[in-house]
Amino acid sequence: MISDYLDIKEEVKDALDNNKPIVALESTIISHGMPYPENIISAKRSEAIIREAGGIPATIAIIKGRIKIGLTESDLDHMGKDSGITKASRRDMAMILSKGMDGATTVATTMLCADLAGIRVFATGGIGGVHRNGQTTMDVSADLQELAGTNVGVVCAGAKSILDIGLTLEYLETHGVPVIGYGTENFPAFYIRESGYKVDYRVDNPAEIAKALKVKWDLGLKGGMVIANPIPEEFEMDKEYISAVIDEAVESAEKEGVKGKGITPYVLARLHNKTGDKSLFANKELVYNNVRLAAQIAIEYAKQ
């Protein structure tokens, strides 16, 4: 039984039983995305934003071989302070649980676990995608395959600029994943508002997104939806500057043989170091922006 592996926090269980709005949050951003103590500060602020909007936060992680749907304050501290926590994607789940290990859930595994619990809206920073030269290396994030088959709407600031965004969008299109721009026709690239690529549809209010999610799943159209929410204009970084820093970080990763799930934390750490933490500040603000929108969508979805 799936319930044998899940520990659902009481307030989240109550919300599920009573159709209250819930927003799932990932834990990789805590354990691998931001340095301590900014990671814990950001995680707690994200949860507070959801509560202020009238929703229930459900931060997801694996602790001692148990999938935790909703974390306590001590759980959040543990995920943020312990440097030995594994970055857990779909392929890692069975081994991490069977060995009683800790795991920080990626976008893919947060979607998977949210779906197991019955949570339909998830806020993150940016989704993974097809890495540069992915057509030859086959380095494609498991996030994309999860979006193809798991019924969770993902609010994000697009895809990280370290990726091949064109190929990422082609992959999503092939697998029938709608890419919705919230208040924009342009697909964002994490730190910048426009990647140079278009979204499938522009939507200007959370209620319409919630309705589209319901219609999609009512029709039996499996898979998620990407809700691309650009970083607020006042926090956007200079495109040429951040692109140059990212290119340098990616080149360094290649030279050092960093591959797969190690690339993103490596590049983010280099960015934070090179930009004097300007990128860390932008990262936090775009996450908060996504969390606010996700809470509004969850509230509207609960009304469906």
Dist CA 122 CA 88 (whole Å):
17
Exactly one of 9, 26, 38, 284 is catalytic; name it.
26
Whether 130 contacts 168, CB under 8 Å = yes
DSSP secondary structure string, 176-226? T--EEEES-SEEEETTEEEEEEE-SEEE-SHHHHHHHHHHHHHTT--S-EE
The secondary structure of 139-167 as a DSSP string is -B-HHHHHHHH---EEEESBB-TTB-HHH
Q: CB 82: neighbour CB atoms within 10 A?
A: 12
b/e per residue, 97-136, with b = 16+ CB within 10 A?
beeebbbbbbbbbbbbbbbbbebbbbbbbbbbbbbbebee
CB 85 within 8 A of CB 101: no
Neighbours of 95 (CB within 10 A): 12
Strand partners, 105: 88
26 is an active site residue: yes
56-63 and 66-69 beta bridge pairing: antiparallel
Which two tokens mark 294?
Answer: 């996700």
**Catalytic (active site) residue 11:** no
d(CA 118, CA 61): 16
| Annotated active-site residue in 9, 87, 160, 261 | 160
165 touches 159 (CB < 8 A): yes
CB-based burial label for 161 (10 Å; 0-12, 13-18, 19+): buried
Local structure of 104: helix, strand or coil: strand
What residues are labeled active site?
26, 160
